[in-house]
Amino acid sequence: MSNNNAPTDIADLQYVQYQGSKEATYLPAIRQLISKDLSEPYSIYVYRYFLYQWGELCYMALDSTSLIGVVVCKLEHHRSGTFRGYIAMLAVQETHRGKGIATKLVSMAIDAMTARDADEIVLETEVTNTASLKLYERLGFLRSKRLHRYYLNGNTAFRLILYLKPGTATKGAQQLGDSGEMLPQQQHLEPGYGPSVTPV
């Protein structure tokens, strides 16, 4: 599996779910694609952390020879009481951007998380990442807060949230469970070797 740069017809793309048994085929390409937009790479552990536990929430766009786009997620119980999906990584080959590929990948991930009974889906993205903001907001995400200097490069992020079920807001005891959340600094920008938000 490679990352070629020759534009392909998007009609020829295949959207497939990640399979752990094919790690050797896919993982190197995924890493390469994700780390293109990073100044510092994530270790293989970060990828395995997600893919081993939530491989079924990872979708790839493939052409005949290479990986064109990927989305990586997780889904678990959050201490606020919700069953929370999290979009951890998303990237599309530069040559293939603006054609709806990321939209398709994220839609598949949302469907998969909805099918698994998720209450909500959250993610962070840089306040200046127009493409990403536009993409998620078109799908229905809203901004819930601004996170000052969230990324290692000093940039500020928006937290984006999509509720999937009624009653999510009032679920659980902790109504405002935000501070102290150990979400990672995200892949698509400057990855962190630790979360930038310290628990209060």
Partner 1 sequence: MADTSTNESSTEGDGEIKVTIGSAADCGLDRDSASPKQAQLPLRQVPQPIVNGGSKVWDITERFTQASQALKIGQLVKDEYFTLFESIGALEIMDPKMDSGFLQPGETLEENYDALRTLLPEEVLGIMDQLLCYEMAWHQGYPLSQTLFTSVYIDRLLWPEPRSLEEAQFYRGNPGRVTDALQDVLRAYCLGIIKSCDFVIGKITSRDYFEEEDFCTHTYNRSLFSKVPHDFVLHELEIAEEILATDVDDIDETVKAAINCRLEFRRNFLVALSPDYSINFLDKYWPPVSALLPAIESSHELARVVPDAFSTKIQRRLTSTVPPRPIVELEFKDAFAKLKQLCEDCAEATKYTFLDPAPEEYQSFLWAFASRKVQPSAYARSYLAGFVFAGDNEIFEGLLRDDLAAMVFPEDQVLDPINWTIDAPRNPLFPKDKRLQMASIIDDFTNRAVQNYVELWTALCQNRCRMRRMLCHSLLAFDQLQSDASILDDELQALTSDLQQYPLTTWVYHLKLRQIEWIIQLGFEQDIYLPDELAGMYLFLAKVAETRNRLLSTLLEFWEQRQKRLEKGKKVDVEKAAKVQEGKAYIEALLAEAVGTEELSAALSSLYTLLSYLHLLPQPPRPFSSPELRYDLRTKPFALLQPVEIIPFDTLTTHIHPFGPHAAPTSPSESIVKHLQQATTYQPIDASVKRAKDAFAKLKKLGPKAASAEGVKEQWSGRVQGRLFSCVAAGVAVAGLRGMAGELVSTADAEGKLRVEGVAEGEGEGKRYHEWWIVPKVVKL
Contact positions toward ligand COA, by CB under 6 A?
37, 90-92, 97-103, 123, 125, 129-132, 134-135, 138, 188
Interaction partner, residue 169 (ligand COA, partner 1, none; CB < 5-8 Å by kind): partner 1
Does 5 help bind partner 1 (rule: CB under 8 A)?
no
| The binder of partner 1 chosen from 3, 48, 56, 81 (CB under 8 A) | 48
Kindly state the smallest distance separating residue 16's Cβ from partner 1, in Å.
17
For tokens 């790690």, name the residue: 23
Q: Which stretch binds partner 1 (CB under 8 A): 5-13, 58-66, 92-100, 187-195?
A: 187-195
Over the window 82 to 111, marking each residue x when it contacts partner 1 by CB under 8 A and - when it does not, the resulting string is -------------------------x--x-
Interaction partner, residue 170 (ligand COA, partner 1, none; CB < 5-8 Å by kind): partner 1
Does 17 help bind partner 1 (rule: CB under 8 A)?
no
Q: 52: helix, coil or strand?
A: helix
Residues 104, 11 contacting (CB under 8 angstroms): no
CA distance linking residue 78 with residue 80, whole number of Å: 5
For tokens 């598949």, name the residue: 108
Closer to partner 1 at the Cβ: 12 or 138?
138
Rg (CA), the chain: 16
Instruction: At 30, list the tokens.
Output: 């995924």
E-only strand ranges, the chain: 14-17, 59-62, 67-77, 83-92, 120-126, 142-147, 157-163
Instruction: At 179, list the tokens.
Output: 């501070």
| CA end-to-end span of the chain | 44
Find, among 67, 26, 69, the residue nearest to 47 by Cα: 26
Interaction partner, residue 198 (partner 1, ligand COA, none; CB < 5-8 Å by kind): partner 1
Closer to partner 1 at the Cβ: 39 or 95?
39
Find, among 168, 181, 179, the residue nearest to 81 by Cα: 168
**CA-to-CA separations, 60 to 41, 77, 112, 153, 182, in angstroms, rounded:** 20, 25, 13, 28, 26
Closer to partner 1 at the Cβ: 69 or 191?
191
> Site residues (CB under 8 A) for partner 1?
20, 23-24, 27, 39-46, 48-49, 51-53, 74, 107, 110, 114, 127, 130, 133, 137-150, 154, 156, 158, 161-170, 175-176, 178-179, 182-185, 191-198, 200
